[in-house]
Amino acid sequence: MDLLFVADPLESFKPYKDSTFAMMREAARRGHRILACEPRHLRWERAAHRAGPVMAQVREVELTGTSGADWFRDRAAPQPPAALPLREVHAVLMRKDPPFDLEYLYATHLLEQAEREGARVFNRPRALRDHPEKLAILEFPQHIAPTLVTRDAADVRRFHAEHGDVILKPLDGMGGAGIFRVGADGLNLGSIVETLNAGGAHTLMVQRYLPEIAAGDKRILVIDGRPAPYGLARIPQGTEIRGNLAAGGKGVAQPLSDADRRIAEAIGPVLAARGLLLVGLDVIGECLTEVNVTSPTCFQEIMQQTGFDVAAMFVDALEAVLARPAS
């Protein structure tokens, strides 16, 4: 099969830890053809007499078997990338990393047009738009900690007075950026709210602090509605409150707990039915904190520490979905 990965520049990949690389490697091992482009390479045009399909300037990628900067080569080099209608490949995998900015949004609209023309896109573009990663938890209140979403500083002060120890975060942050903890003394609460909500212009999220973060912020990978048997606990280091790997957290792979599995099995099939083939649920203690749909990671950390091949589970699921009629 021909698989087109819409991703960040290949030259920016870190093959030793990149989950998209792990997908490519497993797909290539099975004999699938690997194509790649960036969101900026997507285009659509209505010419004088008719509308054309969504196209992309794509590179055919050959994996070299190394894990350094030379992990791939362009099969067609030195020729320029070829223009290809997305409907002509077997699957388009949207793997552009966050942030979910306006350009990402525009890319989902182009990919949705490609779907209307017959392309198979994973995760589905509409589902990407409908599940902002922090706000998607609101659909599952039985699984989350006390949470407030607001622009109003008075709301935040009331919530803090009720719960005493809280986490504040922007809705568009990634990698732990912009996350603050305010304890019972309320130190700097006003300044933090002003920073995050820009005088009421931006919505923020406030949650009761979960001391279970000391044991890790667990990433649970759910593939076509089923959880992988191991998750990755991202454990804060030193005085840091954030477990995110990008913020210096230590990743420790571990079997899913009963609570992890209960959350994943309740939510996974719901999201899979909406076209979310791959989801990363973030869980602290027994509380869901985020639903990651744009470019969930941690494949390689889990594989390296446990031997469980998440990429093989993913490609198995992709092949099975492609064998079914498109919905």
- Look up tokens 């699957």; give the residue: 91
**Last residue within a domain, chosen from 181, 209, 237:** 209
* Cα gap 42→60, rounded to integer Å: 16
* 133: in domain: no
- Look up tokens 């399909």; give the residue: 53
- CA count, 13 A, side-chain hemisphere, 292: 23
The tokens of 209 are what?
């602090």
What pLDDT sits at residue 326?
Answer: 81
Do 151 and 103 have their domain in common?
A: no
What CATH number did the domain enclosing 113 receive? Answer: 3.40.50.20
In this structure, what are the phi and psi dihedrals at residue 288, rounded to the nearest 5 degrees?
-70, 130
Do 203 and 252 have their domain in common?
A: no
**Last residue within a domain, chosen from 209, 225, 255:** 209
What CATH number did the domain enclosing 288 receive? Answer: 3.30.470.20
* Cα gap 315→30, rounded to integer Å: 9
* 130: in domain: no
Q: What's the pTM? A: 0.94
What CATH number did the domain enclosing 179 receive? Answer: 3.30.1490.20
Cβ neighbours, 10 Å, residue 76: 14
Task: Determine the structural domain holding residue 76 and report its residue range.
Answer: 2-123
Give Cβ neighbours of residue 131 (< 8 Å, ≥ 6 apart).
271, 274, 276, 291, 293
What pLDDT sits at residue 75?
Answer: 87
H-type helices in the chain, by residue range? 19-29, 102-116, 125-130, 153-163, 189-197, 258-272, 299-306, 310-323
Distances (CA, A) of 295 to 37, 86, 215: 15, 20, 24
What pLDDT sits at residue 66?
Answer: 84
What pLDDT sits at residue 99?
Answer: 86
The residues that bridge with 93 in the sheet, in sequence order, are 5, 122
Predicted confidence pLDDT, tens digits, the chain (327 residues): 999 999 999 999 999 999 999 999 999 999 999 999 999 999 999 887 888 999 999 999 999 988 788 999 998 777 778 899 999 999 999 999 988 899 999 999 999 999 999 999 999 999 999 999 999 999 999 999 999 999 999 999 999 999 999 999 999 887 778 899 999 999 999 999 999 999 999 999 999 999 999 999 999 999 999 999 999 999 989 878 887 877 788 999 999 999 999 999 999 999 999 999 999 999 999 999 999 999 999 999 999 999 999 999 999 999 999 999 887
Do 166 and 116 have their domain in common?
A: no
* Cα gap 110→124, rounded to integer Å: 12
Do 18 and 69 have their domain in common?
A: yes
In this structure, what are the phi and psi dihedrals at residue 62, rounded to the nearest 5 degrees?
-115, 125
What pLDDT sits at residue 201?
Answer: 93
Do 24 and 108 have their domain in common?
A: yes
Catalytic site positions: 134, 169, 219, 234, 242, 282, 290, 292
